[in-house]
Protein backbone atom coordinates (compact mmCIF):
# COMPACT_ATOMS: atom_id res chain seq x y z
CA UNK A 1 0.00 0.00 0.00
CA UNK A 2 2.62 2.49 1.16
CA UNK A 3 4.80 1.66 -1.79
CA UNK A 4 2.06 2.41 -4.33
CA UNK A 5 1.18 5.69 -2.66
CA UNK A 6 4.78 6.68 -2.78
CA UNK A 7 5.19 5.62 -6.36
CA UNK A 8 2.11 7.44 -7.58
CA UNK A 9 3.21 10.60 -5.76
CA UNK A 10 6.59 10.40 -7.43
CA UNK A 11 4.96 9.74 -10.75
CA UNK A 12 2.74 12.75 -10.17
CA UNK A 13 5.69 15.04 -9.53
CA UNK A 14 7.53 13.55 -12.46
CA UNK A 15 4.71 14.32 -14.89
CA UNK A 16 3.63 17.62 -13.33
CA UNK A 17 6.99 19.33 -13.38
CA UNK A 18 7.46 19.56 -17.16
CA UNK A 19 3.78 20.40 -17.45
CA UNK A 20 4.21 23.43 -15.21
CA UNK A 21 7.26 24.47 -17.14
CA UNK A 22 5.26 24.26 -20.35
CA UNK A 23 2.38 26.43 -19.04
CA UNK A 24 4.89 29.00 -17.87
CA UNK A 25 6.35 29.14 -21.35
CA UNK A 26 3.02 29.50 -23.11
CA UNK A 27 2.05 32.19 -20.59
CA UNK A 28 5.16 34.16 -21.44
CA UNK A 29 4.54 33.71 -25.16
CA UNK A 30 1.01 34.95 -24.60
CA UNK A 31 2.27 37.94 -22.62
CA UNK A 32 4.65 38.83 -25.42
CA UNK A 33 1.88 38.54 -27.98
CA UNK A 34 -0.29 40.91 -25.95
CA UNK A 35 2.62 43.31 -25.67
CA UNK A 36 3.35 43.28 -29.39
CA UNK A 37 -0.33 43.89 -30.17
CA UNK A 38 -1.15 46.58 -27.64
CA UNK A 39 2.05 48.27 -26.58
CA UNK A 40 4.90 47.85 -29.06
CA UNK A 41 3.67 50.62 -31.37
CA UNK A 42 4.57 53.19 -28.72
CA UNK A 43 7.17 51.42 -26.55
CA UNK A 44 9.05 49.59 -29.31
CA UNK A 45 9.01 45.82 -30.04
CA UNK A 46 11.82 45.26 -27.51
CA UNK A 47 10.71 47.96 -25.10
CA UNK A 48 13.37 50.26 -26.47
CA UNK A 49 10.96 53.22 -26.56
CA UNK A 50 9.65 55.39 -29.35
CA UNK A 51 6.65 57.61 -29.04
CA UNK A 52 6.48 56.27 -25.48
CA UNK A 53 9.39 55.86 -23.04
CA UNK A 54 11.77 52.93 -22.91
CA UNK A 55 10.58 50.01 -20.76
CA UNK A 56 13.90 48.19 -21.06
CA UNK A 57 15.16 49.62 -17.82
CA UNK A 58 15.30 48.03 -14.37
CA UNK A 59 13.90 51.19 -12.73
CA UNK A 60 10.62 52.47 -14.09
CA UNK A 61 9.83 55.99 -12.93
CA UNK A 62 6.10 55.63 -12.38
CA UNK A 63 5.63 51.89 -12.14
CA UNK A 64 7.98 51.44 -9.19
CA UNK A 65 6.06 48.51 -7.67
CA UNK A 66 4.10 45.65 -9.25
CA UNK A 67 0.91 47.20 -7.92
CA UNK A 68 1.66 50.55 -9.56
CA UNK A 69 2.66 48.77 -12.76
CA UNK A 70 -0.72 47.05 -12.83
CA UNK A 71 -2.45 50.38 -12.24
CA UNK A 72 -0.45 52.18 -14.98
CA UNK A 73 -1.32 49.50 -17.54
CA UNK A 74 -4.97 49.30 -16.50
CA UNK A 75 -5.69 52.99 -16.09
CA UNK A 76 -3.03 54.66 -18.21
CA UNK A 77 -1.36 57.87 -17.07
CA UNK A 78 -3.87 60.74 -16.90
CA UNK A 79 -2.94 63.72 -18.98
CA UNK A 80 -0.46 61.83 -21.18
CA UNK A 81 -0.66 59.65 -24.25
CA UNK A 82 -0.39 56.48 -22.18
CA UNK A 83 -3.90 55.00 -22.62
CA UNK A 84 -5.89 52.87 -20.22
CA UNK A 85 -6.57 49.28 -21.26
CA UNK A 86 -9.71 47.24 -21.71
CA UNK A 87 -7.88 43.93 -21.25
CA UNK A 88 -8.95 41.78 -18.33
CA UNK A 89 -6.99 41.73 -15.08
CA UNK A 90 -5.25 38.45 -15.87
CA UNK A 91 -3.99 39.75 -19.20
CA UNK A 92 -2.84 42.96 -17.54
CA UNK A 93 -0.93 40.93 -14.96
CA UNK A 94 0.69 38.96 -17.79
CA UNK A 95 1.64 42.21 -19.51
CA UNK A 96 3.14 43.39 -16.26
CA UNK A 97 5.31 40.26 -16.18
CA UNK A 98 6.46 40.95 -19.72
CA UNK A 99 7.29 44.56 -18.86
CA UNK A 100 9.39 43.31 -15.91
CA UNK A 101 11.13 40.90 -18.28
CA UNK A 102 11.90 43.76 -20.66
CA UNK A 103 13.36 45.55 -17.65
CA UNK A 104 15.98 42.83 -17.29
CA UNK A 105 17.28 43.43 -20.79
CA UNK A 106 20.40 45.51 -21.29
CA UNK A 107 19.64 49.22 -20.78
CA UNK A 108 19.29 51.28 -23.92
CA UNK A 109 22.71 52.69 -24.63
CA UNK A 110 22.60 56.36 -25.45
CA UNK A 111 25.92 57.15 -27.03
CA UNK A 112 26.12 60.82 -26.15
CA UNK A 113 27.20 62.79 -23.12
CA UNK A 114 24.32 64.58 -21.42
CA UNK A 115 26.50 67.29 -19.84
CA UNK A 116 27.87 68.33 -23.21
CA UNK A 117 24.31 67.98 -24.51
CA UNK A 118 23.00 70.51 -22.01
CA UNK A 119 25.64 73.03 -23.11
CA UNK A 120 24.62 72.53 -26.74
CA UNK A 121 20.95 72.85 -25.80
CA UNK A 122 21.56 76.23 -24.17
CA UNK A 123 24.26 77.39 -26.60
CA UNK A 124 24.51 76.42 -30.23
CA UNK A 125 21.01 74.89 -30.40
CA UNK A 126 19.33 77.86 -28.73
CA UNK A 127 16.54 75.44 -27.79
CA UNK A 128 15.52 77.47 -24.72
CA UNK A 129 14.30 80.24 -27.02
CA UNK A 130 11.33 77.95 -27.77
CA UNK A 131 11.25 75.29 -25.04
CA UNK A 132 11.08 75.38 -21.26
CA UNK A 133 12.68 72.93 -18.81
CA UNK A 134 11.56 73.12 -15.18
CA UNK A 135 10.11 76.57 -15.69
CA UNK A 136 13.10 78.06 -17.48
CA UNK A 137 12.90 79.02 -21.15
CA UNK A 138 10.14 79.90 -23.57
CA UNK A 139 6.60 78.50 -23.76
CA UNK A 140 6.53 78.66 -27.55
CA UNK A 141 7.16 74.94 -28.09
CA UNK A 142 6.24 71.97 -25.88
CA UNK A 143 7.66 71.80 -22.36
CA UNK A 144 10.59 69.37 -22.21
CA UNK A 145 10.91 68.91 -18.41
CA UNK A 146 9.76 65.26 -18.64
CA UNK A 147 10.57 64.49 -22.25
CA UNK A 148 12.88 61.60 -21.27
CA UNK A 149 9.93 60.00 -19.49
CA UNK A 150 7.74 60.37 -22.50
CA UNK A 151 9.85 59.53 -25.55
CA UNK A 152 12.54 57.08 -26.54
CA UNK A 153 15.94 58.12 -27.93
CA UNK A 154 15.07 57.19 -31.50
CA UNK A 155 12.01 59.41 -31.52
CA UNK A 156 13.95 62.28 -29.92
CA UNK A 157 16.68 62.05 -32.53
CA UNK A 158 14.06 62.06 -35.30
CA UNK A 159 12.37 65.14 -33.87
CA UNK A 160 15.72 66.96 -34.09
CA UNK A 161 16.77 65.94 -37.58
CA UNK A 162 13.38 65.82 -39.23
CA UNK A 163 10.86 67.78 -37.16
CA UNK A 164 8.33 67.68 -40.01
CA UNK A 165 8.13 63.88 -39.94
CA UNK A 166 6.98 64.11 -36.36
CA UNK A 167 4.45 66.89 -36.70
CA UNK A 168 1.12 65.14 -37.18
CA UNK A 169 1.53 63.46 -33.81
CA UNK A 170 2.80 66.59 -32.18
CA UNK A 171 -0.20 68.69 -33.03
CA UNK A 172 -1.83 67.35 -29.94
CA UNK A 173 0.36 67.24 -26.88
CA UNK A 174 -0.47 67.39 -23.23
CA UNK A 175 1.10 70.04 -21.10
CA UNK A 176 3.08 68.02 -18.51
CA UNK A 177 1.24 67.24 -15.33
CA UNK A 178 -2.07 68.57 -16.65
CA UNK A 179 -4.77 67.43 -18.99
CA UNK A 180 -4.46 70.56 -21.13
CA UNK A 181 -4.05 69.62 -24.75
CA UNK A 182 -1.76 71.89 -26.67
CA UNK A 183 -1.32 71.92 -30.36
CA UNK A 184 1.47 73.36 -32.34
CA UNK A 185 -0.12 74.27 -35.61
CA UNK A 186 1.93 76.89 -37.37
CA UNK A 187 -0.15 79.81 -38.60
CA UNK A 188 0.67 82.92 -40.62
CA UNK A 189 -1.66 85.87 -40.84
CA UNK A 190 -1.74 89.13 -42.80
CA UNK A 191 -4.01 91.90 -41.54
CA UNK A 192 -5.75 94.44 -43.77
CA UNK A 193 -3.26 96.98 -42.41
CA UNK A 194 -0.50 94.89 -43.99
CA UNK A 195 0.94 93.42 -40.74
CA UNK A 196 2.48 89.93 -41.12
CA UNK A 197 2.54 87.75 -38.02
CA UNK A 198 3.70 84.15 -37.72
CA UNK A 199 3.32 81.87 -34.73
CA UNK A 200 1.63 78.81 -33.30
CA UNK A 201 -2.10 78.61 -32.80
CA UNK A 202 -3.14 78.95 -29.18
CA UNK A 203 -6.86 78.89 -29.70
CA UNK A 204 -9.43 79.24 -32.44
CA UNK A 205 -13.21 79.41 -32.80
CA UNK A 206 -15.51 80.33 -35.65
CA UNK A 207 -14.88 84.06 -35.42
CA UNK A 208 -11.51 84.53 -33.75
CA UNK A 209 -7.99 83.09 -33.66
CA UNK A 210 -5.20 83.52 -31.11
CA UNK A 211 -1.58 82.84 -31.87
CA UNK A 212 1.69 83.06 -30.01
CA UNK A 213 4.61 84.59 -31.87
CA UNK A 214 8.25 83.56 -31.43
CA UNK A 215 8.81 86.16 -28.71
CA UNK A 216 6.04 84.51 -26.69
CA UNK A 217 3.52 87.34 -27.21
CA UNK A 218 -0.07 86.24 -27.78
CA UNK A 219 -2.04 87.99 -30.53
CA UNK A 220 -5.80 87.78 -30.90
CA UNK A 221 -7.67 88.57 -34.10
CA UNK A 222 -11.20 88.60 -35.38
CA UNK A 223 -11.01 86.60 -38.57
CA UNK A 224 -12.86 89.44 -40.28
CA UNK A 225 -9.80 91.65 -39.67
CA UNK A 226 -7.54 89.28 -41.57
CA UNK A 227 -6.76 89.55 -45.23
CA UNK A 228 -4.94 86.20 -45.19
CA UNK A 229 -4.90 83.25 -42.79
CA UNK A 230 -2.61 80.32 -43.56
CA UNK A 231 -2.52 77.16 -41.50
CA UNK A 232 0.56 75.15 -42.27
CA UNK A 233 -0.59 71.64 -41.45
CA UNK A 234 2.33 69.24 -41.50
CA UNK A 235 4.87 72.01 -41.17
CA UNK A 236 6.85 72.31 -37.97
CA UNK A 237 7.84 75.69 -36.60
CA UNK A 238 10.88 73.90 -35.21
CA UNK A 239 13.99 74.09 -37.39
CA UNK A 240 15.80 70.87 -38.40
CA UNK A 241 19.19 70.40 -36.75
CA UNK A 242 20.83 67.96 -39.15
CA UNK A 243 23.03 70.70 -40.59
CA UNK A 244 23.61 72.46 -37.26
CA UNK A 245 24.98 69.62 -35.11
CA UNK A 246 27.68 67.09 -35.92
CA UNK A 247 26.65 63.42 -35.37
CA UNK A 248 28.50 63.48 -32.03
CA UNK A 249 26.71 66.64 -30.96
CA UNK A 250 23.35 65.13 -31.94
CA UNK A 251 24.14 62.13 -29.71
CA UNK A 252 24.97 64.52 -26.87
CA UNK A 253 21.73 66.48 -27.20
CA UNK A 254 19.70 63.24 -27.38
CA UNK A 255 21.47 61.96 -24.25
CA UNK A 256 20.57 65.21 -22.48
CA UNK A 257 16.91 64.95 -23.55
CA UNK A 258 16.72 61.31 -22.39
CA UNK A 259 18.00 62.43 -18.98
CA UNK A 260 15.13 64.91 -18.53
CA UNK A 261 12.73 63.05 -16.28
CA UNK A 262 11.03 65.77 -14.35
CA UNK A 263 13.44 65.62 -11.42
CA UNK A 264 14.75 68.98 -10.37
Judged by the rule CB under 6 A, the positions of this chain that interact with ligand HEC are 38-39, 41-43, 51-53, 55, 60-63, 69, 72-73, 77, 80-83, 85, 95, 99, 121, 125-127, 129-131, 140-142, 146-147, 149-151, 156, 159-160, 163, 166-167, 170, 173, 184, 200, 236-239, 241, 253, 257
Taking the complex as a whole, the smallest distance from the CB of residue 195 to ligand HEC amounts, in Å, to 20
Give bridge partners of residue 197 from the DSSP assignment. 189
Cα 103 versus chain centre, distance: 17
Taking the complex as a whole, the smallest distance from the CB of residue 17 to ligand HEC amounts, in Å, to 31
Cα–Cα distance, 141 to 209 (Å, whole number): 18
Beta carbon nearer to ligand HEC, 110 or 156: 156
Beta carbon nearer to ligand HEC, 229 or 244: 244
- DSSP-derived 3-state class of residue 37: helix
Beta carbon nearer to ligand HEC, 12 or 83: 83
- DSSP-derived 3-state class of residue 8: helix
Beta carbon nearer to ligand HEC, 38 or 226: 38
Taking the complex as a whole, the smallest distance from the CB of residue 123 to ligand HEC amounts, in Å, to 10
Cα–Cα distance, 133 to 117 (Å, whole number): 14
Beta carbon nearer to ligand HEC, 229 or 235: 235
Give bridge partners of residue 228 from the DSSP assignment. 190
CA distances from 173 to 7, 46, 85, 148, 202 (A): 65, 25, 20, 15, 12
Amino acid sequence: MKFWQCASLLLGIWTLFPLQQATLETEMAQAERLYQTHCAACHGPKGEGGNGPTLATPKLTRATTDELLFKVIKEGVAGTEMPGSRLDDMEIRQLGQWVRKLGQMPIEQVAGNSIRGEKLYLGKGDCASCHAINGRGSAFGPDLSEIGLRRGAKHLRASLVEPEADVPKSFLMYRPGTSVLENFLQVRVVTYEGKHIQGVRVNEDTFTIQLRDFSGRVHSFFKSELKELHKDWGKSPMPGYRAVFSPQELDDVVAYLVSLRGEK
